[in-house]
Amino acid sequence: MPNSKINRVLLYASAFIIIALVLFAILRDNASDITLHNAQKILENHSVKSVTVTKDYVYLKTDNEFYKIASSQVTPKMFVNYKVEVDSGSSVIVYILFGVLFLGLGTLLLRWWQKKSPLFEGGGVSSASRLDIAQNTPVEAIKSDVKFSDIGGISDVKMELEEIIDFMKKPARYKSFGARMPRGVLLVGPPGVGKTMIAKAVAHEAGVPFFYQSGASFVQIYVGMGAKRVHELFHAAKNNSPSIIFIDEIDAVGKKRDGQRNDEREATLNQLLTEMDGFESQSGIIVIAATNKIDVLDSALLRAGRFDRRVFVELPTKRERVSILEKYLNKVPHNLDVMAVANMTVGFNGASLAALVNEAALLALRQNDFQVNTEHFHQVKDKVMFGKKRLQMLSDKQKAYRVTYQAAKAICATYFDLPFEKLMLSNEKLTPSIDEPLIKHELESRVKMLLSGMVASDIKYGEHASSAKADLDEAKELVTKMLKDYGMGSSLISTDEENRILMSRLYNETKLLLESMTSAMQAVEDVLIERESITKADVRKEIDAVL
């Protein structure tokens, strides 16, 4: 396919060069300039065979030479004995060649525009042709340049996969002991933790070809096309064994078969199952797949003999975040405590940490600073977590409500030591939603923080704003989970009344806390009015002054 495209380009280029050379040869004026005296001499010798007159020159052609003299230097009497031809400058051949040249260029430009224009997806090619081209594109291995040393914070995962790398390097050692290589490895974890990079690192460390496909690439509108693609993928891997096949987002093609008719998806999944069962013991192929939804995968795909090993890639711990940050800060001039940045990035995945470092570096450049410091990370953290929001155009009264609301959340979050480093007046959310297991009092602390803004507004103004909806919804959801899902009520089966009682108790406890922190609240509000932001350390100082 690539060779035919190159040959076609060379053919077009050769045709244009030939046409250009012909036009140059025809249009090039190769006549020699002569003086009037020499022209008269040539005419008197009767050696001139033809005389051609143009607007600017008179051309004299002899047996061996071709001369020209400016029309302003000659008179008609000089050519009385000759038949004079008048050249109007037009040539049918020239026009034809120019037309061919322009048509060729126009055709190429039109084809290029069709390929680029969204109105002509596939460059004017029909859907069936595009599908045929896509399906007949050969599956090729890609070269992985990612090393394990390039990935920070996955020490446990490395230990799991180093055995597979050693197996691919020294298969005889394991076979002599009666052990067989796992047929499949399933990487399970939330988005952004580096599952694709891990698979590439395995291929690089093992020194084997790496075949990458996303699960979505197998899902086609025509029955049989996805299955064909699966077969081609495994066939190419076998021809290049030992090798690694990596299927990203395998849940797109490997969802549970629930009996509802979907011939294409089931045909593709059946082909995948068949190919994984059809491995010969010496095939030297390992299938690595990634998903963040293992619960939706078909049980046939998860059974032993297909994906023999499951590796769970979790969000990085504090120590792992330090390792990841050091990798990304390696080429960024900085003057900061990496551990402090790791402390403020609870819940960040590897991709978010990369974005955080990049945003901090861009901010330092905008501010003309020579190094990235901790303050840059404080300023961009909320932008990476929640997106950048401008403070709405608020009236003085609305802004006063917002200041009180945010000050109360900062007070509660600091008092209960919830993970945050800096509060911005423009951001409703203070800390990200959490999924890890928490003790009952930790969940109650988070609910109190979510209710605190509304409580403070009710205390100070006797009412609160509609912007409390997001926090109130999250508080209700947490309380419901505590009672119904986590069994943290007075009995394992909760009631609506118990839900109301718990929410009311947490509201009242939050109210008592904030009423005891009046002076700290006022101090935090003053800072927010002045700077529209406040750090956790500053809030801690105000709370300590009260306690």
Q: pLDDT tens, 128-187?
A: 444 454 455 666 777 777 777 777 767 777 777 887 788 877 877 877 887 777 778 888
How high is the pLDDT of residue 515?
Answer: 93
Do 158 and 272 lie in a common domain? yes
**Cα(443)–Cα(506) distance, integer angstroms:** 11
Specify if 516 maps to a domain.
yes
> Token pair of 323, please?
């390792």
SS3 217: helix
How high is the pLDDT of residue 404?
Answer: 92
Q: What is the pLDDT of residues 276-329, one digit of tens each?
A: 776 555 567 888 888 888 888 888 888 877 887 888 887 777 788 888 888 888
Enclosing domain of residue 355: 319-368
Beta-ladder partners of 310:
186
**Cα(219)–Cα(443) distance, integer angstroms:** 42
Sheet of strand 32-33: strand arrangement: 32-33, 66-70, 57-61, 50-53, 84-86
Task: Decide: 108 and 19 in contact? Cβ < 8 Å.
Answer: no
Specify if 360 maps to a domain.
yes
How many other β-carbons are positioned within 10 Å of the β-carbon of residue 438? 15
**Cα(444)–Cα(155) distance, integer angstroms:** 34
How high is the pLDDT of residue 128?
Answer: 47
Rounded mean pLDDT of the chain?
Answer: 77
Closest CA to 432 of 506, 351, 345, 357: 345
Helix ranges restricted to H, 170-304: 171-175, 195-206, 225-239, 263-277, 299-302
Quick one: 194 exposed, middle or buried, by C-beta within 10 A (0-12, 13-18, 19+)?
Answer: buried
Do 205 and 350 lie in a common domain? no
Closest CA to 321 of 306, 338, 337: 338
How high is the pLDDT of residue 501?
Answer: 92
Closest CA to 317 of 155, 442, 147: 155
Give me the count of residues in the chain.
547
- Longest CA–CA separation in the chain, Å: 130
Specify if 95 maps to a domain.
no
Q: What is the pLDDT of residues 244-257, one digit of tens each?
A: 888 888 887 777 77
**Cα(324)–Cα(155) distance, integer angstroms:** 12
Do 285 and 325 lie in a common domain? no
Do 174 and 300 lie in a common domain? yes
Specify if 50 maps to a domain.
no
> Token pair of 270, please?
């059946």
pTM for this entry: 0.55
**Cα(129)–Cα(123) distance, integer angstroms:** 11
Specify if 202 maps to a domain.
yes
What is the distance of C-alpha 56 from the center of its chain?
64
Closest CA to 452 of 480, 420, 444: 444
Cα distances (angstroms) measured from residue 237 to each of 140, 230, 285: 9, 11, 7
Do 295 and 342 lie in a common domain? no
- Of 273, 294, 312, the one marking the end of a domain is 312
Q: What is the pLDDT of residues 120-140, one digit of tens each?
A: 444 444 444 444 544 556 667
Give the domain CATH number at 412.
1.20.58.760
Do 342 and 406 lie in a common domain? no
**Cα(536)–Cα(419) distance, integer angstroms:** 9
Number of H helices, E strands in the chain: 20, 12
Do 532 and 402 lie in a common domain? yes
What is the distance of C-alpha 203 from the center of its chain?
22
- The three-state DSSP-derived secondary structure of 399-449 is HHHHHHHHHHHHHHHHHCCCCCCEEECCCCCCCCCCCCCCCHHHHHHHHHH
Task: Decide: 310 and 268 in contact? Cβ < 8 Å.
Answer: no
Do 294 and 437 lie in a common domain? no
Specify if 55 maps to a domain.
no
**Cα(242)–Cα(202) distance, integer angstroms:** 13
Beta-ladder partners of 286:
244
Tally of domains in the chain: 3
Specify if 102 maps to a domain.
no
Quick one: 174 exposed, middle or buried, by C-beta within 10 A (0-12, 13-18, 19+)?
Answer: middle
Beta-ladder partners of 53:
58, 86
**Cα(194)–Cα(153) distance, integer angstroms:** 10
Q: Torsion angle, CA of 372/373/375/379, rounded to 10 degrees? A: 30
* Least confident residue range of 21-25, 378-382, 395-399, 482-486: 21-25
Per the model's pLDDT, the better-predicted residue between 458 and 395 turns out to be 458
Specify if 210 maps to a domain.
yes
Beta-ladder partners of 482:
none
Do 435 and 465 lie in a common domain? yes
Give the domain CATH number at 362.
1.10.8.60
